[in-house]
Amino acid sequence: MPGDDVSKILVSEDDIKVRVLELAEEISENYKNESFVLVGVLKGAFIFLSDLVKSIKSRCSIDFIVTSSYGLTGTSFSGKVKLLKDISQPIKGKNVIVVDDILDTGSTLNFVLEHLSSYEPKSLEICTLLSKPDRRRINIDAKYVGFTIPDEFVVGYGLGYNEEYRNLPYVGVLKEEIWKVRA
């Protein structure tokens, strides 16, 4: 079972549900008179984005972008971010919120922000489920943050390791022997 590979639960399923509702309310209030585009960073943000958008009360559309920044084992930043799939709708003059699973080093989100900025959106913000400020290499802040967490290897609620563990309903710390053995 995937949960057997988790040493501890860092953010419970119930805490995630409450915080996602709070973030949706905050976004809805901030954009109550304007529409916006939610751009999910795949694959990690898909569950978070799905739950978030169901609770947003404002007019919005959804798009996706796919990047790659980790090596084959998925345990460390490769040093280069690649665009694998771009957004499919025009965002010029629109409010855009990039939705991601985790703000870690900042490299991926910095790349995404720079890329999307080239399309000249009206505004560009970040909404992330998790933030690991201790790992930040690039000074980047998210307007909407679910949880600030310590520098631990986390999985669940969309976050994966070797494409597994995304289906866990909580965010947990993956046992070191799992990712070190496979790394």
104 belongs to the catalytic site: yes
The whole-number average pLDDT for the span 79-98 is: 94
State the CB neighbour count (10 A cutoff) for residue 71: 12
DSSP-based helix, strand, coil % in the chain, nearest 5: 30, 35, 35
Structure confidence at residue 142 (pLDDT): 96
Structure confidence at residue 72 (pLDDT): 45
Pick the catalytic residue from 5, 51, 100, 104.
Answer: 104
Q: What is the pLDDT of residues 123-179, one digit of tens each?
A: 999 999 999 999 899 999 899 999 999 999 999 999 999 999 999 999 999 998 888
Structure confidence at residue 76 (pLDDT): 52
In terms of pTM, does the model score above 0.85? yes
Listed by start position, the domains of the chain span 2-182
| Model confidence at 183: pLDDT above 80 | no
Task: Could you please state the CATH topology (level 3) that the domain comprising 2-182 is classified under.
Answer: Rossmann fold (3.40.50)
Q: What is the pLDDT of residues 32-77, one digit of tens each?
A: 999 999 999 999 999 999 999 999 999 999 999 999 875 544 555 5
Can you list the positions of beta strands (E) in the chain?
6-11, 36-42, 60-70, 77-85, 95-103, 123-131, 144-148, 154-155, 171-174
**Cα–Cα distances in angstroms (integers) from residue 117 to residues 59, 93, 162, in the given order:** 22, 11, 30
Angle, to 10 degrees, between the axis of helix 46-55 and the axis of helix 13-30?
Answer: 60
